[in-house]
Chains A and B, each alone.
Chain A
Amino acid sequence: MMTALFTYTCIGLSMIAVLLCFMRMALGPTTLDRILAFDGIVIAMVAMLVLFSTYWHTDMFIELIVIIASLGFLTTVAFYFFLSRQPPAAALGEDETERGGGSRD
């Protein structure tokens, strides 16, 4: 059984991690940075679920952890297969109309 102070400290630290990932998602220069920040947010959410599961001393959240981790991986793979079929300016996060817009094939 974990003490309340230790659990609250750990949850606060994982919230700091989520805020840093949100900062990278807001000012990431490319689209890949934003996808990576989303991956980090999903992992920090899984960490919060693990902390709550240890605090309440229950094992009901394991299926939820499996589902959330799989969803994070599936979003990353879906973005990869979407962006690998786009021109490279889509992965760089640049607007195509600013570059002359002549290469839309």
Chain B
Amino acid sequence: MELYEKSAAELGRMLRAKEASAAEITESVLGRIAQVEPRVGAYLTLTEETARSQAARVDEKLAKGEALAPLAGIPLAVKDNISTKDVLTTCASKILYNYVPSFDAFAYARAMEQGMVLLGKVNMDEFAMGSSCENSAMKTTRNPHNPDYVPGGSSGGSAAAVAACEAVLALGSDTGGSIRQPAAYCGVVGLKPTYGSVSRYGLVAFASSLDQIGPVARTVEDAALLFEAIAGRDPMDATSIPHDYTGLAAGIHAPVQGMTIGLPKEYFGEGVEEETRAAVLAAADALKAQGVTVKEISLPSTPYGLAAYYIISSAEASSNLARFDGVKYGYRTPEYSSLTEMYEKTRSEGFGDEVKRRIMLGTFVLSSGYYDAYYKRAKLMQNRIAAEFAEAFAGCDAILAPTAPGTAFRLGENYDNPLKMYAADVCTVNINIAGLPAVSIPCGTGKNGLPIGMQLIGAKFEEAKILRLAAAYESLCGGFAPAAIVD
């Protein structure tokens, strides 16, 4: 087994046992990138020199006998909407094609404090709006399991890089499923944390009340380690909530016997592919055999989630993206005769079609005469969905559901049909609407050879419970295999 295939936990052990140096680990992953990146296309910016010097620092500390943080020396890929000081942060948009932040995002700074090694910035749907990575203005990212298929989105680069062993860990962001859905499509682990548990400072805002940064990994333990490192109260984000997650990663292998899982019938009905339904139910049976109680539950407002999500997220996006006007940063149109013309041309040339659709939808639902009919109704539905989840958690420790209605689709298949594309988020958006944590893990393979994913959803701040159940299932499977990239 090559170093680049190993988990962060195993590499950490090897580092401390002097079986591998941070420099060797980094070179191994950089070598893997050179080998497979032309077929995957996950990275927008590579930071090899930064990576090598960061790895050298870890090796120096190790040689001096200094203590290392759990993730020291572990190579990391970062989604391109997470600010990295002095490293391009484009959000895969033409409008930020040259933007270099003058500060680090909180979550990224936490990862660097651990001594992690930055490999580079990875592709995404422009401003995290999309479910396939095809809305990137920069490049096409392919599913490492089959290059004709999408990696999912919007954190498609994060999931593809980890699945292809082009990174040991990655940071992504999840507004309506953007960590979990690509994790499912690429056969890796993706955690969307409780809203407020990870600071959004330095995450380029899409929908501030829903956005959350989280980890992508090949093992549940690795996802837990990275989450534990980036969680915490940050005065720079007024919505960040203090919560002590100490010992979370160390506790994920605790027994699951006696825990209760709810299966919401609305997530297994029409629109969900038969093979996906069967795979998730088989996983529930496997957990049942471990002493977990499985029961059917109902979340009756589930079908309304997609509508509420697109109203709320687009409303917030239309406001958040008003800052891109060609004045302070990024692209400015070359020819204009007035300020208004400069704004309009800059934004029209700088944004892609999906971003324009969302800005216009948000503008529409907030416009005079429509606010009550759309935005207010969506916010009321948000309360109802959150209340239904809270009621369900009174009777179970976690909720199990498919992450997406099916496996990855072909490149181009849904590109020109926004509604079909939005339907890929139908299983994930309600979790963001309710502010809950959920982890997606692989649970089988479809007829097309692509991974099937399922998500374990927890009550607020109950990441420990869902990660324990995820780790128990992972053990039953004997671990999750990375993508086998065929020449």
Chains A and B come from one and the same complex:
no
**B residues bordering A, Cβ < 8 Å?**
none
**A residues bordering B, Cβ < 8 Å?**
none
